[in-house]
């Protein structure tokens, strides 16, 4: 990937991480860990891959994303705002009464959301149906589905996994579908390995008939390459196992099951933002002075604390 493109994606993902922390801190509840693990994948999809028009969210030829792990929708809201689906200022209405930014995605309240998810295990089936419907109509659209790792403990995922490589064959194979597993290794109660180990993951999906790719889900070059490869694959949908770090870029959240579903308190949120921006504690006052946008976000959070 050209250096400029890489730097652009890194910068967008950094901004989105800040927004994720900002909106969750305002909301006072939600899921930071998985939002931070999936954000590099969503950033790549929205800013280096998918075709869409934020002014026409119902454009029939758009590419679609089904975020099956619906609890990580703050990550999706952050990229959607960045992409122009709605103003960034609205992000802090997350989970508030009357906001279209529901705690888990609502397709009707927020145009651009493709499916209601949040009851885990259902997104892949819907993605299959979408991919099939688009193929039947000869549309060029691609469908992306992001699964959580713990989510694949749900039986419906395996019904869909078994069907996907066969559905639509031979005339309308679902090679317009690409599934990405956000393999961060942690679910609500504990580490996935401790609750119900998924291994061997690759062998399972392979046995179900999927072409497989395995990547670092925080490496934009690897993500992009895998998406290229998926797009070039004919006859079958592709499954990408993306190894990720839950809570990525915030030291005290990384790899800690505690941060699956707990919002940061204002001071924690501010510290998280500083870490995301890679600013040392000593340099923080100067950084805030030099960066008005960040300063405004931080001041908002400080004000929250006084409430």
What tokens appear for 70 in the block?
């619906």
The order of strands in the sheet holding 143-148 is 64-67, 143-148, 177-183, 238-243, 212-216
For another protein, the closer CB: 108 or 280: 108
Min. distance of Cβ 109 from another protein in angstroms? 10
For another protein, the closer CB: 114 or 275: 114
For 248, what's the count of Cα atoms within 13 Å in the CB-facing half-sphere?
Answer: 25
Coil, strand or helix at 170: coil
Under rule CB under 8 A, residue 108 binds another protein: yes
Asked whether the beta carbons of 50 and 142 are under 8 A apart, the reply is yes
Under rule CB under 8 A, residue 114 binds another protein: yes
Q: Is the bond preceding residue 169 a cis peptide, omega within 30 degrees?
A: no
CA distances for 163 relative to 265, 267, 298, angstroms: 44, 47, 48
What mask, x for binding another protein by CB under 8 A, covers residues 125 to 144?
xxxxxxxxxx-xx-------
Of 154-162, 226-234, 281-289, 293-301, the window that binds another protein (rule: CB under 8 A) is 154-162
For another protein, the closer CB: 23 or 160: 160
| DSSP string for 125-153 | HHHHHHHHHHHHTT----EEEEEETGGGG
The answer for residues whose C-beta is within 8 angstroms of residue 80's C-beta and 6 or more apart is: 46, 54, 86, 110, 112
Which of 106, 175, 268, 275 touches another protein by CB under 8 A?
106
For another protein, the closer CB: 40 or 154: 154
Under rule CB under 8 A, residue 67 binds another protein: no
For another protein, the closer CB: 176 or 184: 176
Min. distance of Cβ 132 from another protein in angstroms? 6
Closest listed residue to residue 217, CA positions, set 43, 75, 46: 43
The answer for residues whose C-beta is within 8 angstroms of residue 302's C-beta and 6 or more apart is: 266, 270
What mask, x for binding another protein by CB under 8 A, covers residues 34 to 63?
--------------------------x---
Under rule CB under 8 A, residue 178 binds another protein: no
Min. distance of Cβ 96 from another protein in angstroms? 19
Min. distance of Cβ 59 from another protein in angstroms? 12
What tokens appear for 116 in the block?
């209601």
Which of 122, 184, 187, 238 touches another protein by CB under 8 A?
122
Q: Residue with structure tokens 């580490």?
A: 191
Footprint on this chain of another protein (rule: CB under 8 A):
60, 106-108, 114-119, 121-122, 124-134, 136-137, 155-156, 159-160, 162-163, 167-168, 171-172
């Amino acid at each position: 990937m050209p250096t400029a493109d890489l730097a652009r994606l890194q910068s967008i993902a950094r901004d989105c991480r800040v927004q994720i922390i900002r909106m969750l801190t305002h909301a006072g509840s939600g899921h930071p860990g998985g939002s931070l693990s999936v954000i590099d994948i969503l950033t790549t999809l929205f800013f280096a891959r998918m075709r869409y028009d934020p002014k026409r969210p119902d454009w029939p030829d758009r590419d679609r994303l089904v975020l099956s792990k619906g609890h990580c929708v703050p990550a999706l809201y952050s990229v959607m705002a960045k992409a122009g689906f709605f103003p960034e200022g609205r992000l802090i209405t997350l989970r508030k009464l009357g906001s279209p930014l529901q705690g888990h995605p609502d397709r009707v309240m927020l145009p651009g959301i493709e499916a209601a998810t949040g009851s885990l295990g259902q997104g892949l089936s819907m993605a299959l149906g979408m991919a099939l419907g688009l193929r039947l109509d000869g549309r060029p659209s691609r469908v992306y589905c992001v699964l959580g790792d713990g989510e694949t403990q749900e039986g419906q995922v395996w019904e869909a996994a078994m069907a996907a490589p066969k559905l639509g064959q031979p005339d309308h194979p679902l090679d317009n579908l690409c599934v990405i597993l956000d393999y961060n290794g942690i679910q609500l109660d504990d580490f996935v390995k401790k609750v119900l180990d998924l291994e061997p993951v690759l062998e399972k999906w392979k046995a179900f008939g999927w072409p497989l790719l395995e990547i670092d889900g925080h490496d934009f070059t690897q993500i992009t390459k895998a998406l290229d490869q998926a797009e070039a694959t004919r006859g079958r949908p592709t499954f990408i196992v993306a190894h990720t770090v839950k809570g990525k870029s915030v030291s005290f959240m990384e790899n800690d099951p505690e941060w699956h579903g707990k919002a940061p308190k204002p001071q924690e949120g501010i510290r998280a933002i500083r870490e995301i921006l890679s600013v040392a504690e000593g340099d923080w006052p100067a950084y805030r002075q030099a960066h008005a946008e960040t300063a405004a976000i931080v001041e908002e959070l400080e004000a929250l604390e006084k409430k």
